[in-house]
Amino acid sequence: MRTKQDFINALSKMKRNIYYDGQLIDRTDELQSDCINVMGTTYDEAAKPENEELMTATSHLTGEKINRFTHIHQNTVDLHCKQDMTRMLCQKVGGCIQRCMGIDGTNAIYNVSFEADKVKPGETNYHDNFKKWLTRFQKEDMIAACAQTDTKGDRLLRPAEQHDPSAYVRIKERTKDGIVVEGCKLHISEASVSDEVLVIPTRALRPEDKDYAVAFAVPADYDGMKQVVTIHNYRQREHFKRGFTPGLTDSYLLFEDCFVPWERVFLAGENLHGGILALLFALFHRHSYSGCKPAIGDVILGAAALAAEVNNIHKQPHVREKLSELIMTIELGYAAGYTASDLGKPEVYIPGMGFVPFGPGSYIPHSIYCNVGRCLSGEAVWREAEILCDIAGGVVATFPHEKDFTNPATGEALLKYTKRNPKMSAEDQAQFWRYLGDAMCSATGGIANVGNYHGGGSPIMEQIAITTQYDIESRKKLVKYIAGMSGGDREALAKINFINKPIDK
Ligand SMILES: Cc1cc2nc3c(=O)[nH]c(=O)nc-3n(C[C@H](O)[C@H](O)[C@H](O)COP(=O)(O)OP(=O)(O)OC[C@H]3O[C@@H](n4cnc5c(N)ncnc54)[C@H](O)[C@@H]3O)c2cc1C
């Protein structure tokens, strides 16, 4: 497995295709170092003996020990470990661990490429292509971004109806050696520090949208793809250093007549499977949220409790009520993911058909629980910020810059006037408000909230998944029976699977 230093060395050798604020930059530019440190944590922690079970796995392709972020889930234990690994790592970096797009993208493509090969038996090699790519990905312990979100143009038009045909990434040309693609993927997290980029469709596709049913992988510094990156760093500190400084990046990926050889193509024209791939990536990604959102909740809860202590209001009943609200969201999100892991199977839910076998046997978390967990946690983002804002007061917004604390003209007075709880040192109180200002009032804090709300799909997408997959009709029958209405047959009710479990579990 790779070390953090191996990862940085590999980044330093990549070609320059990253544009930042009008300039071409190196991947190891100082601007990216906080983000690289977050990603590097996934290597450092995997090397620790105490994390071996959680963070490593045995490759089902080679039998070798691999970093769990490159693993294909083989059973429910793997799903549990992925959720718990995500929570543990997000706690370590105080936010998003940023490597989940790769594990979620690879697991989705692994399953869908297998099924797509059945459409024209013998004519396509998507699954073998993907397994070859995956073997190298696992051996070299690489990082992959997953590029799903298209520009989407007019939201009410389907891909083939758009005024600009490249509003969704599409196959422009097919040759005997590969495909030529064009379009742009938006908001692609950590593509600027990834080895590879996985590209997949973003929505359900009709037969006339078949050129948009495309999945492939390219190196992140590939000719034919430019990255325009936004880098989200906290304000630099000289004197009062943080315990850990996280950084994030998001790229717009521009595909300009980008040639992709067939061995890197995992789907090319199977519209139905394009839609399933979009949904399956979202499903795996919503499962990842059941690890990261509870961890982010852990940090918010700790911050809210500390803010209350600094203000010496921690024993007040309204604070207890708010802390309990945070805990309920954290643990309900975690419990939903835990259940999704526990009920995982090599199956997907198809409306009207129920659970059907899918893929070559790797494990997929349960859809309803992934979606309810992600929707509950995603929508709670602004409420959690509201609770923090309420308990903290206005100080987080206006806390003076660090050099005003080191300047003899103002430092002593500032410490005196920012001290609140007499039982905590003024220095610690100041350091706490600096942290909370970073988290709540910086550009990075705002961006993280938007990401936590929309990442993995806006809440409406989870609501659509939940209501189309949940057996609401059976609940109507239940009430008809209890109310004594016609259509409420007791025997029919006995056959209904009210707890959403796969029947033979
Ligand atoms: C920080 C951050 C990181 C991200 N990282 C990644 C990443 O790594 N990879 C990736 O692929 N994506 C990533 N995303 C993208 C994320 O998945 C999308 O933002 C999300 O799916 C919503 O899509 P959108 O931003 O295009 O919003 P839109 O889809 O434009 O949504 C805006 C509003 O329009 C509504 N709407 C949209 N279409 C319709 C319609 N047809 N009918 C009615 N209403 C409609 C929506 O419900 C919503 O209310 C990231 C986003 C953020 C903010």
Q: Work out the pLDDT band at 503, boundaries 50, 70, 90.
A: very low
Structure tokens at 168: 């969704």
Does 292 lie in the same domain as 210? Answer: no
Phi/psi of residue 121, each to 5°? -55, 135
Is 90 exceeded by the pLDDT of residue 504?
A: no
Among residues 75, 70, 69, 111, the alpha carbon closest in space to that of 348 is found at 111
Q: Work out the pLDDT band at 330, boundaries 50, 70, 90.
A: very high
Q: Is the CB of 451 under 6 A from ligand 1?
A: yes
Does 217 lie in the same domain as 309? Answer: no
End of a domain among 224, 258, 273? 273
Among residues 203, 384, 186, the alpha carbon closest in space to that of 278 is found at 203
Question: pLDDT value at position 56?
Answer: 98
The answer as to whether 435 is a domain residue is yes
Structure tokens at 70: 């490159």
Does 264 lie in the same domain as 363? Answer: no
Distance from the CA of 166 to the center of ligand 1, in angstroms? 17
**DSSP 3-state of 91:** helix
Is 80 exceeded by the pLDDT of residue 54?
A: yes
The answer as to whether 476 is a domain residue is no
Mean pLDDT, the chain, rounded, equals 95
**Mean pLDDT of the 255-266 span:** 98
Question: pLDDT value at position 505?
Answer: 41
Does 255 lie in the same domain as 180? Answer: yes
Q: Is the CB of 155 under 6 A from ligand 1?
A: yes
End of a domain among 273, 302, 331? 273
Q: Write out pLDDT tens, residues 151-189.
A: 999 999 999 999 999 999 999 999 999 999 999 999 999
CATH code for position 362: 1.20.140.10
**Mean pLDDT of the 418-439 span:** 97
Torsion angle defined by CA atoms of residues 262, 267, 270 and 272, in that order, rounded to the nearest 10 degrees: 180
The answer as to whether 254 is a domain residue is yes
Does 148 lie in the same domain as 213? Answer: yes
Does 238 lie in the same domain as 297? Answer: no
**Mean pLDDT of the 361-386 span:** 96
Q: Work out the pLDDT band at 349, boundaries 50, 70, 90.
A: confident
The answer as to whether 129 is a domain residue is yes
Q: Is the CB of 146 under 6 A from ligand 1?
A: yes
Is 70 exceeded by the pLDDT of residue 497?
A: no
Distance from the CA of 457 to the center of ligand 1, in angstroms? 6
End of a domain among 218, 253, 273? 273
Following DSSP, what letter does each residue of 232-295 receive, concatenated? Answer: EEPPP-SSS--S---EEEEEEEEEEEEEEEGGGEEEES-HHHHHHHHHHHHHHHHHHHHHHHHH
Neighbour-count burial of 324, counting CB atoms closer than 10 A to its CB (0-12 exposed, 13-18 middle, 19+ buried): exposed
Distance from the CA of 269 to the center of ligand 1, in angstroms? 24
The answer as to whether 454 is a domain residue is yes
Residue with tokens 């892991």: 341
The answer as to whether 505 is a domain residue is no
Q: Is the CB of 250 under 6 A from ligand 1?
A: yes
Question: pLDDT value at position 502?
Answer: 53
* Distance (Å, whole) CA 338 – CA 346: 17
Distance from the CA of 452 to the center of ligand 1, in angstroms? 11
The answer as to whether 326 is a domain residue is yes
Does 296 lie in the same domain as 261? Answer: no
CATH code for position 13: 2.40.110.10
Does 285 lie in the same domain as 268? Answer: no
Distance from the CA of 490 to the center of ligand 1, in angstroms? 43
Among residues 97, 95, 46, the alpha carbon closest in space to that of 71 is found at 46
* Distance (Å, whole) CA 453 – CA 284: 17
Question: pLDDT value at position 89?
Answer: 98
Q: Is the CB of 378 under 6 A from ligand 1?
A: no
Q: Work out the pLDDT band at 455, boundaries 50, 70, 90.
A: confident
Cβ atoms of 78 and 71 within 8 Å: the answer is: yes
Q: Write out pLDDT tens, residues 40-53.
A: 999 999 999 999 99
Does 167 lie in the same domain as 104? Answer: yes
Q: Write out pLDDT tens, residues 281-300.
A: 999 999 999 999 999 999 99
Q: Take atom 11 of ligand 1 and give the residue whose Cα is closest.
A: 148
Does 184 lie in the same domain as 37? Answer: yes
What is the amino acid identity at position 128? D
The answer as to whether 477 is a domain residue is no
Residues 6+ apart with CB under 8 A from 167: 150, 151, 152, 153, 154, 159, 183
Q: Write out pLDDT tens, residues 223-245.
A: 999 999 999 999 999 999 999 99
Residues 6+ apart with CB under 8 A from 268: 124, 171, 174, 179, 213, 214, 215
Does 241 lie in the same domain as 322? Answer: no
Does 198 lie in the same domain as 215? Answer: yes
For the chain, the domain total comes to 2
Atom of ligand 1 nearest to the CA of 152: 26
What is the amino acid identity at position 132? K
Q: Which domain holds residue 23?
A: 4-273
